[in-house]
Structure 1
């Protein structure tokens, strides 16, 4: 099983897609770094910045447009979705471009300076109003979750049969990569033991909440982007941020923020452990597939040492 490769496009293909929507006048088409599953380009039209993303995964962007409306409508700085379409085998989406550089490109000092604002955005995501929808796990284009319960989602997400998804034939990784079956199954069993703590909480989860999906002008967060959005326990996003900024005291800062706001989180420790195991297990499989052995080994050590 080889590492996943993003679709590659000639500039002429991109120009044709953009010309169909904007007519002449699109300028400065530039590839952007980031995005493990999409090929992303920025461009300018009538002095305004946009970006276009291409994916060969079926239905890649319908949910992103739903999420864009949901978040931007509730004051979260998320890019607005303009156009959804297909060209040949690829799906694409055109979105407004939020000005800024990746927060991950800022110095560690600059990142720390913006952490209080990041914690505030994290708390706002946890408060996003999702009451008119139902279900857990991946958010469908209609705004509902894909599964009846968090447990159903966790079981399905880690099942062997993933036909038609990014994880099709993923058990091959036990033979072809650094993924170890005994380690994966140990973490999975721990995860299932903590599912009962997480499953009664249903909120919006960004699912990829770290500094490479944040935009910044160097002093302030200008927006959040992308995401593997789902419904479930919002502490999943906290676990992700903590793993990506491990020296920043993320957990304590989040608890302090909630205490100041007069909010109490029941079963915080157990729910956070469940979140670490959920995202960590996904990380083990992903790093193995991408051939990122150092990331795999670091995550493996972190998970096995959790108590």
Structure 2
């Protein structure tokens, strides 16, 4: 669970390290962090508080290695401690998230969103290694993309035994087995993948993309995985539905092999099921299970 610290406690730590904070404002929060807008000196910045510093350090790595004018990633200025928790101060990108953008305004920016996805996939991967989710030094533990995909079924990565009661053992066995049947068909690519792209991690001023944030789930692998994330969540969020329609109507070639696209969506769904069951989020769990059932029904037998 994300921290729920009082603003006074946070302010004491930040001002101890960085000086007086003249303004505070409320900002849309993520699932893992408390988030505030602050003003230090003459600059508007973003302040996040998380349980650990690892994700902040990974953001800093991604900004240093992958940020360009076509891929705006806010610079991390400071990482520090708030008692047992960690804080991060970064530059503030202009605009709002795609998730907060009015539905009527989405068509004006969706083409730019797709362009940023292409830029992410084309990022040079110097000084990195491995496949799958990587750490704050650019190191990922898997020896191949398929190895990462298959890790969803392994106990050392996902404690499925602990969620069998919530999900159902037969349901899990059936859907994990179906997914594993299609892993050999998935191609081996090693590109940058954001891993959680398309809703509250993409900022826009209504015309262009002004920031891509929260790189905690970033991977090395097949860029189609980011497209699959959009398609998996399309029934849940209007901004994801708008992006999915854009690909269907304007860039169908970006959707790749339809079987692989569905396979990736199924893996994303299985991971969501594991996270929701562990967190006790019943509504999210049931939605993700129903979504996986729909995806599984459309995979060839």
- With the length of structure 2 as denominator, give the TM-score of the two structures: 0.85
The aligned counterpart of 1:52 is 47
Aligned Cα RMSD in Å? Answer: 2.5
Distance (Å, rounded) in 1 between the aligned partners of 2:180 and 2:187 = 11
Distance (Å, rounded) in 2 between the aligned partners of 1:29 and 1:213 = 21
Alpha-carbon contact 2:131-2:220 (below 8 Å) kept: yes
Alpha-carbon contact 1:206-1:237 (below 8 Å) kept: yes
Distance (Å, rounded) in 2 between the aligned partners of 1:92 and 1:191 = 38
The aligned counterpart of 2:294 is 302
Shift of 1:43: 0.5
Distance (Å, rounded) in 1 between the aligned partners of 2:275 and 2:287 = 10
The aligned counterpart of 1:192 is 180
- Greater Cα offset, 275-284 or 54-63: 54-63
Distance (Å, rounded) in 2 between the aligned partners of 1:268 and 1:45 = 48
1:255 equivalent in alignment to 2:246: no
Alpha-carbon contact 1:215-1:223 (below 8 Å) kept: yes
Distance (Å, rounded) in 2 between the aligned partners of 1:65 and 1:130 = 15
Pick from 137, 153, 174 the counterpart of residue 164 of structure 2: 174
Once the two structures are superposed, what CA deviation does each residue of 1:152-179 show, in whole Å capped at 9, x if it has no partner?
32344443345xxxx6x5533222x3x2
Alpha-carbon contact 1:119-1:254 (below 8 Å) kept: no
- Greater Cα offset, 115-124 or 185-194: 185-194
Distance (Å, rounded) in 1 between the aligned partners of 2:128 and 2:250 = 27
Secondary structure of the corresponding residue to residue 241 of structure 1: helix
Judged with a 3 Å threshold, the aligned counterparts in structure 2 of structure 1 residues 109 and 182 are, in CA distance, closer, same or farther, namely farther
The aligned counterpart of 1:13 is 9
Judged with a 3 Å threshold, the aligned counterparts in structure 2 of structure 1 residues 111 and 278 are, in CA distance, closer, same or farther, namely same
The aligned counterpart of 2:267 is 278
Judged with a 3 Å threshold, the aligned counterparts in structure 2 of structure 1 residues 298 and 31 are, in CA distance, closer, same or farther, namely farther
The aligned counterpart of 1:119 is 114
Pick from 40, 60, 67 the counterpart of residue 72 of structure 1: 67
Secondary structure of the corresponding residue to residue 77 of structure 1: coil
- Greater Cα offset, 54-63 or 205-214: 54-63
Judged with a 3 Å threshold, the aligned counterparts in structure 2 of structure 1 residues 213 and 299 are, in CA distance, closer, same or farther, namely same
Judged with a 3 Å threshold, the aligned counterparts in structure 2 of structure 1 residues 303 and 145 are, in CA distance, closer, same or farther, namely same
The aligned counterpart of 2:203 is 215
Secondary structure of the corresponding residue to residue 211 of structure 1: coil
- With the length of structure 1 as denominator, give the TM-score of the two structures: 0.83
Judged with a 3 Å threshold, the aligned counterparts in structure 2 of structure 1 residues 195 and 297 are, in CA distance, closer, same or farther, namely closer
Ranges of 4+ aligned residues in structure 1 off by more than 6 Å = none
Which runs of no fewer than 5 residues in structure 1 stay unpaired?
259-264
